[in-house]
Chain A
Amino acid sequence: MIAAKTYHKCQSVEEAIALALKHGEDFRYMAGGTDVIINKFQGNDETNCLIDISAIPELKQVSNDWNVLRIGSLVKLDDLKKHKTIADHFPALLEAAHSVASPMIRKTATIGGNILCENRCIFYNQSEWWREAVGYCLKCEGDVCIATGGKKNCFSKFVSDTAPVLICLDAQIEVFDTDGVKLIKLEDIYTGDGVNPRQLNPKAIVTAILLPLDKDYRCVFKKLRPRESVDYTSLTTAVSIDKKGRIKIALGGVDPGPVVAEGIGMSAIDSLILQVFKKARVIDNDFYTRPYRKEMIKVFLQRSFAELGNTNKQFDN
């Protein structure tokens, strides 16, 4: 049923990248695979080679040095809570991870996979037959966005729930690329383009997520979805404030990329909210309508800041 003639399970990053180099463009890395396999079932991914990296031991570690928390990219979403440092410093990250999909999927899906998960749209995440019937959209080599009727932009949704929180926590990712290891700010990998939502060498492997431990973040996470489990996000909001009063907002589910704004002090809040509200390119490709999700951006952010304020009286000025 699916287009993947060969399957390889790698024991090291080097082995995986070497294999990828052999296959040109015709491969797909797979961590947990809970999204990748379904995209393959539906014919949205027609690569012929699956490179399964889920067994690489060193990517499953969580460690803590020089005030930086290093979370291996293959740590399963369900396993994050087992690490006390994460629970102590970043409870919002646990909340976000816990809000992803269903308990069963979280036992397979990884944090690395979640930040790199493919954008979604109700007109794209469909079977081959379905997409033929509707007429192919921009994201599957068609020439029109079905949701908007536009011919230029694809507005598939960025749906990672952990990424907005990680962005608010100033996460960096460690990328093992064909030319060496790099550290990149997480938000910098997202392009905001629905067709190609990430600017990463397809052969590169994200090996870890790094979080500063010395900034005393307070962070509030919220997710809008019709049901209390299973669903992808219709709107994810994360807001944070660090010990210096620096405020950061990141939204998911309302744009092809995360929508991010930063400022200093609680007085900046209103303008930051307005900024992300205007920036978010919400369209009708979700269970909830565009106006409703737009409206909820404000409601969720105001509530989040109220919650932050309640626990952070000292930052009120």
Chain B
Amino acid sequence: MNILKLSVNGKSHEVLVKGDEMLSEVIRERIGLTGTKIGCEQGNCGACTVLVNDEPVLSCITPALRFDGAAVTTIEGISTDGRLHRLQKIFVEKGAVQCGFCTPGMVITALDFVNKTPTPTIDEIKESLSGNVCRCTGYKKIIEAVAEYAEGITNDQLPITNETSIVGKPRPYIEANKKVSGSAEYADDIRMKNTLHAKFLRSIYPHARIESIDTSQAEKLSGVRAVVTGQELPVRFGVLPVSNDETAMAIDKVRYIGEVIAAVAADTEDIAHAALKLIKVKYLPIQEFLTIEDSQKDTGLNERIHTETKFQNNIHKKAELRFGDQQKGMEESDVVSKMTFEFEGVTHAFTEPHAATAFWDENGLTIITATQVPHYLHRALAKVMEVPLNRVRVIKPYVGGGFGGKSDPFPHEMIISHLARKTGWPVKIRFTREEVFISNHGRHPSQMTVQLGAMRDGTLMVLDADIAIDGGAYGSFGVVTTYYNGVLLQAPYKLDNFGFKTCRVYTNKPQCGAMRGHGAVNSRFATESLIDDIAHRLQIDPVEIRLKNFLTPNTVTIGQYRITSNGSRESLMKVAKQSDWKNRHGKLEVGHGLGVGCGFFISGSALPIIWNELPQSVVHLKLDFDGRVLITSGASDIGQGSDTMLAMIVAEVLNIALDKIFVLAADTLITPVDMGSYSSRVTFMAGNAAKDAAEKLKIEILNAIAKAKDIAIEELNLCNERVFSNDKSIDVGWMEAIGILVSKRGAVNVIGKYISPKLGGDFKGAGAGLSPSYSFGACVAEVKVDTETGKVKILKIWGAHDCGKAINPLAVEGQLEGSWHMGIGQAISEEMKYYKGLIVNNNFLDYKIPTSMDTPDIATNIVETNDPEGPFGAKECGEGALHPILPAIANAIYDAVGVRITKLPIKPEDILNELKRTKQTEAAMTI
């Protein structure tokens, strides 16, 4: 131990520090400044960046003792006297902050950069930020913010806080100041007295029987408070009632490398870690199943992964749906294109690793955890802890991104709850980045053969898909994923003959689940590739053939989806026009190409996951004498901006400024049930519930004034924070109106709700993909392909997405740009690589998220179609936008070099091999 003297943000500290303590640990754990984030522990994400003597340092990989006597500036020291630094302000105003987890590092990196390079080019800005990972924004708004800061422009078009009519106007997140100044608390930032730290012992075999676990040595280690194993938590759980196939820790056998076998709670993380090494596990390895092919086969005498499955193989779920007459459709088609596709798994890679703290008191269990769905976790915890629902409270703090990866109830949440009950102390867990990768729940590796038939004039006649997806060791959302791969192909094109067969297998790998664009991303890629192929074969422009086949608004698909608003046509025409498609597609030099793709997605699942009669969303409003409206909602803001959306909707209806609104969300004790942030449902459903509540509150206010002033309510208006009559004889300000409202009554509470209409057919599987509304979109990508190396450079993306109505255009743009960025990753660089079931690229160095330098220029278009049932016409924008970008890139590669890659990610090598094959074929043909 050495004494370390530091001045941190101008305040002197002397701390006793060990030789192996990193600066980040000292800043966060000793000094208590948690604005500095830990994202990857390898210096590859930049979230831990601080300034030391005015030079940026990656604090999580630099020993603290190096900096004895130094002056450290953390994000908390960037603002002065409670006022944001100008760069921070621009980050807020530009929407460069979404989940906010990368923001502290990003701000410090950018500040240092602009200090040293006062007049940077855009390329220099991109380069300077290329060591900082942002998974939300696609970098666009961050780059713009830094550019604007460097230009010294002060933004005069600031959203004025007392504005009362704000739906449709760009508005920074209501919590953005907290995030940009480092004071927003994420799960790992929660500090409670006497907290114990948990660490997990994980399986080193993909499939093995556990013969014995000896924890006795670990228990003896000083500082260890509890060691627990699977037997203690035998109750099964899973997000879907049909696949409650998981226990908190493995019992009797392990099903993937990395599955938790035992857990330790100790006074420090180091002690817990040391204790793990003292636990002795005897395994009996059994035959593992690692591929779709293996898992589809009869297992013979080998033990299945889940012995309770229906079949004598490892198939988890099979489904098949057929509409129209596919055979006839094929016969009537002039051209049929059939291809087989292969997709590697990808993962969410949110910047904030999973973290949680659990404790028990007289109110039962409280868990503060990085989750997208407090409600389902609430149910799962009650089940696994074997306590009534009213003994569980789930609180969501700020969450550093989710993208579907925080939407299951997780074993670690069960385990620390159990450890906390057993020890009587709060127990905390934070995952290493490697553990985040092991937990996965990402997009399923998939294989599919898809056929598409069309008439000579380009009319699509038939679509058939045969799909198999690799689910990993447990169910997760997999049954839904299985269906989505098929059902979501019935739009945006009119298809009278449509069908698919799909199956999900268990394998001995980390489980797959829901990820942005859930289920339909890969099959959409396949379909859009086939349309492109058919267009080329029929010599019809790929844009024209799509325009020709789009479903109209207000129609019903063959599988009985009710399509209301539909902005396909407008989206596609917009990107075609902007990219000068007509003049450039098919006409650029070799190696340079344009490609197009379209998309379709649900705007909230019409059916709840756990069948019940609850509304999909309930929002409470409370208005008391102080004139402030409190919104309580179970919806989870995970960085997508749902809290701001709720506030804007309520503000719009009541025509008051946002400063009179406070959002309290995602605390299952206090907030009414909302199903959670999945299936792109929050704006549509929680937004509608908020609107319903606000309208009721408005009537309460007007009724009170009408009664007090003896005037008909129809004569009254609520506008611009005043209540006035048409003839202006009555005109009261907000506070006066509220005074009248609460007089002799007290605070007024109202309840708004959203219940989806009855939808869909009555056949088995009809519920899959039903939604009260659907989103549509299109992308054009421009690429350059190096024909000697096969390397693809994406030059530009034009994207358009029909979100119905952008309640907050700033947030919508952020969602679209983030979706496209994530899609680029899956298209050309991201994949989950396994070696005998062990995830190999389990870090931000080897898992290739596109950096700021790999991100092209993006043209963002919001298309508005005013959905008849969405709040103010709004529908989803967070997932559907991802679909079109992947096929647009592949189709652009085809346009550039004439080869069609049917495998994701598209690797340079695959392009080269295809080029060679084409050349050989051509050579053979000329001979």
Interface residues of A (CB under 8 A from B): 1-7, 9, 30, 33-34, 37-38, 40-41, 49-50, 52, 54-55, 101-105, 107-108, 122-123, 126-127, 129-130, 132-134, 146, 224, 226-232, 287-289, 291-292, 295-296, 299, 303
Q: Which residues of A contact B22 (CB under 8 A)?
A: 37
* Complex alpha-carbon distance, A302 and B187, angstroms: 53
Q: How far, in angstroms, from A6 to B205 measured CA to CA in the complex?
A: 35
Pull 30 A–B residue pairs with CB atoms less than 8 Å apart, ordered by A: A1-B20, A3-B20, A4-B19, A4-B20, A5-B18, A7-B2, A9-B65, A30-B63, A33-B62, A34-B43, A34-B58, A38-B42, A49-B19, A101-B131, A102-B44, A103-B113, A104-B58, A104-B109, A104-B132, A105-B43, A108-B58, A129-B202, A129-B434, A132-B204, A133-B204, A134-B836, A228-B851, A229-B851, A292-B909, A296-B789
B511 cross-chain contacts in A, Cβ below 8 A: none
Give Cα A7–Cα B128 distance, bound, in whole angstroms: 31
A229 engages B840 (CB within 8 Å): no
Interface residues of B in 149-184 (CB under 8 A from A): none
Give every chain A residue within 8 A of B19 (Cβ-Cβ). Answer: 4-7, 49-50
**A5 CA / B270 CA spacing, docked (Å):** 13
Q: Which of A1, A52, A122 contacts B63 (CB 8 A)?
A: A52
Give the CA-CA distance A299 to B269 in the complex, in Å.
49
CA distance A230 to B63 in the complex (A): 21
Query: CB-CB contacts of B739-755 with A at 8 A, as 1s and 0s?
Result: 00000000000000000
Question: What's the tally of chain B residues with a CB closer than 8 Å to chain A?
Answer: 62
- Whether A230 contacts B20 in the complex (CB less than 8 A), given A103-B130, A108-B57, comes out as no
B contact residues around A289 at 8 Å (CB): 909
Residue of B63, B907, B912 near A33 (CB, 8 A) is B63
Q: Is B848 an interface residue (CB 8 A)?
A: yes
Question: Which residues of chain B come closer than 8 Å to A146, judged between CB atoms?
Answer: 835
B46 A134 Cβ-Cβ under 8 A:
no
**7 additional contacts, CB 8 Å, given A34-B61, A133-B203, A229-B131?**
A33-B63, A103-B127, A129-B204, A134-B835, A134-B838, A292-B908, A299-B788
Q: Kindly state the separation between the CA atoms of A292 and B432 in the bound complex, as whole angstroms.
A: 33
B434 lies within 8 A of A230 (CB): no
Question: Provided the pairs A133-B204, A299-B789 are in contact, do residues A229 and B61 lie with their beta carbons within 8 angstroms?
Answer: no
- Asked whether, in the complex, the Cβ of B56 is within 8 Å of the Cβ of A107, the reply is yes
Which residues 21-45 in B have Cβ within 8 Å of A in the complex? 22, 41-44
The answer to whether B269 and A227 touch across the interface, beta carbons within 8 angstroms, is no
Residues of chain B in range 109-141 having any CB-CB distance to chain A below 8 Å = 109, 113, 127-132
Which of A108, A122, A130, A292 gathers most chain B CB within 10 Å? A130
Contacts of A292 in B (CB 8 A): 790, 907-909, 912
- Chain B 877-916: CB-based contact to A (< 8 A → 1; otherwise 0): 0000000000000000000000000000001110010000
Contact in complex: B20, A104 (CB < 8 Å): no
Q: In the complex, which of the residues B55, B129, B909 has the most CB atoms of chain A within 10 Å of its own CB atom?
A: B909
Q: How far is the CA of A129 from the CA of B800 in the complex (A)?
A: 45
Q: Is B257 an interface residue (CB 8 A)?
A: yes
A8 to chain B, nearest CB (A): 8
Tell me the minimal C-beta distance from B134 to chain A in angstroms.
Answer: 13
In the A-B complex, the 10 residue pairs with the smallest Cβ-Cβ separation, listed nearest first, are A102-B131, A7-B19, A229-B130, A133-B204, A228-B853, A104-B131, A292-B909, A229-B851, A4-B20, A2-B20
**In the bound complex, how far is the Cα of B20 from the Cα of A5, in angstroms?**
6
From the candidates A230, A232, A291, name the one contacting B130 in the complex (CB within 8 A): A230
Q: Closest CB of chain B to A118's CB: distance in Å?
A: 14
Complexed CA–CA distance, A127 and B909 (Å): 30
Whether the pair B273, A1 counts as a contact (CB closer than 8 A) is yes
Contact (Cβ within 8 A) B835 A229: no
Let me know if B845 and A122 touch, CB within 8 A.
no
Point out the residues of chain A lying under 8 angstroms from B273, CB to CB: 1
Distance between A100 CB and nearest chain B CB, rounded to angstroms:
11
Rounded to whole angstroms, the CA-CA distance of A256 and B130 in the bound complex is: 28
Chain B, residues 631-651, CB within 8 Å of chain A (1/0): the string is: 000000000000000000000
Query: B912, A295: Cβ atoms under 8 Å?
Result: yes
Question: Which residue of A is nearest B61, CB measured?
Answer: A37
Q: Which residue of B lies closest to A37 (CB)?
A: B61
Quick one: given A5-B19, A37-B63, are A230 and B845 in contact (CB under 8 Å)? yes
Hey, which chain A residues are within 8 Å of B204, CB to CB? 129, 132-133
Measured in the bound complex, the distance between the Cα atoms of B432 and A146 in whole Å is 24
Residues of A within 8 Å of B62, CB to CB, are: 33, 37, 108
Per the bound structure, the CA–CA distance linking A134 and B203 in Å amounts to 11
Contact in complex: A133, B131 (CB < 8 Å): no
Are A227 and B912 closer than 8 Å at their CB atoms?
A: no
Chain B, residue nearest A40 (CB): B20
The answer to whether A287 and B46 touch across the interface, beta carbons within 8 angstroms, is no
Which A residues are CB-close (under 8 A) to B829?
A: 226-227
As a 0/1 sequence over residues 7 to 21 of chain B, the CB contacts with chain A under 8 angstroms (1 = contact) are 000000000001110
CB distance B909 to A288 under 8 Å?
yes
Q: Give the shortest distance, in Å, between A74 (CB) and chain B (any CB).
A: 13
8 Å CB interface, B809-864 against A: 829, 835-836, 838, 840-842, 844-846, 848, 850-854
Which A residues are in CB contact (< 8 Å) with B41? 38, 41
B49 at the interface (CB under 8 A from A): yes
A232 and B845 within 8 A (CB): yes
B contact residues around A4 at 8 Å (CB): 19-20, 63
Residue numbers in A under 8 Å from B835 (CB-CB): 123, 134, 146
CB of B584 closer than 8 Å to a CB of A: no
Bound CA span A52–B63, Å: 9
Q: Are B68 and A9 in contact (CB under 8 A)?
A: yes
When distances are taken between beta carbons in the complex, the residues of chain B under 8 Å from A122 are 840-841, 846
| A230 near B270: Cβ-Cβ < 8 Å | no
Q: How far is the CA of A219 from the CA of B532 in the complex (A)?
A: 44
On whether A230 and B66 interact (CB within 8 A), knowing A3-B20, A130-B434, the answer reads no
Known contacts A132-B204, A133-B257, A230-B131; decide if A7 and B43 are in contact (CB<8 Å): no
CB-CB under 8 A from A123, the residues of chain B are: 835, 840
- How far in angstroms is the closest Cβ of chain B from A19? 13
CB of B785, distance to nearest CB on chain A (Å)? 14
**Which residues of B in the span 568-622 have a Cβ within 8 Å of any Cβ on A?**
none
Can you name the residue of chain B whose Cβ is closest to the Cβ of A38?
Answer: B42
Residues of A within 8 A of B128 (CB): 103
B175 to chain A, nearest CB (A): 27
